[in-house]
C-alpha cells in the first residue's frame, strides 16, 4: 500500500499502472511508426491504373493481366509508396536492379505528364492492392 499526501492508502496495483502504461506506450508508438503515411486517393488511382497501366502490368485487384512489365502482385509487396511514385514519375528503370532490367526487352517510360496527384493516386492504389493493410 502507498499513502497519498492526505494520508489515504492507495493500492499498489493502481500505482503500478504508471509502469504498465509506460511499457505500453512505446509499443503503441512503434506500431504507429511502422504504418506508413500514404498519399493520394486509391479509388481514383484504380481508374487510372486500369486505363494506363494494365496493358503492361499484372495486378489481380485491377483484373489486369499485362505481361510486358513486372507482375505487380509479385514485386509490389517489396515496394514502398515512395518507390512506386519514383518508378511512375521517372520510369521503371529508375528503381530496378541491373538483373531486373535485363529481364525485360522494354522499359517503362516516365509518366511525369500525369501530374503529382494522379501519380500519388496510382501509387497508393498499387501499394494498398499489394500490401496486407
What torsion do the CA atoms of 32, 82, 49, 73 make, to the nearest 10 degrees? -70
Distance in angstroms (rounded) separating the CA atoms of residues 11 and 127: 49
State pLDDT tens for residues 15-57.
444 444 444 444 444 444 467 899 999 999 999 999 999 999 9
* Short-list 102, 119, 120, CA closest to 110: 119
**124, exposed or middle or buried, with CB in 10 Å at 0-12, 13-18, 19+?**
buried
* Superfamily classification of domain 42-130: Cytochrome c-like domain (1.10.760.10)
Distance in angstroms (rounded) separating the CA atoms of residues 118 and 123: 9
Q: What is the mean pLDDT of residues 107-122?
A: 97
Backbone dihedral region of 118: left (phi > 0), alpha (psi from -120 to 50 degrees) or beta?
alpha
* Short-list 57, 51, 68, CA closest to 121: 51
Q: What is the mean pLDDT of residues 66-84?
A: 96
Going from N- to C-terminal start, the domains of the chain cover 2-34, 42-130
Amino acid at each position: 500500500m502507498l499513502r497519498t499526501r492526505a494520508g489515504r492508502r492507495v493500492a499498489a496495483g493502481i500505482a503500478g499502472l504508471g509502469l504498465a502504461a509506460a511499457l505500453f506506450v512505446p509499443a503503441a508508438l512503434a506500431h504507429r511508426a511502422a504504418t506508413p503515411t500514404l498519399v493520394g486517393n486509391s479509388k481514383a488511382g484504380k481508374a487510372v491504373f486500369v486505363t494506363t497501366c494494365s496493358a503492361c502490368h499484372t495486378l489481380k485487384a485491377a483484373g489486369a493481366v499485362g505481361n510486358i512489365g513486372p507482375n505487380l502482385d509479385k514485386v509490389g509487396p517489396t515496394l514502398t509508396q515512395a518507390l512506386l511514385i519514383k518508378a511512375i514519375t521517372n520510369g521503371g528503370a529508375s528503381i530496378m536492379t541491373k538483373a531486373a532490367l535485363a529481364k525485360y526487352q522494354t522499359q517503362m517510360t516516365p509518366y511525369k505528364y500525369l501530374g503529382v496527384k494522379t501519380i500519388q493516386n496510382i501509387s497508393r492504389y498499387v501499394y494498398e492492392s499489394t500490401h496486407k493493410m
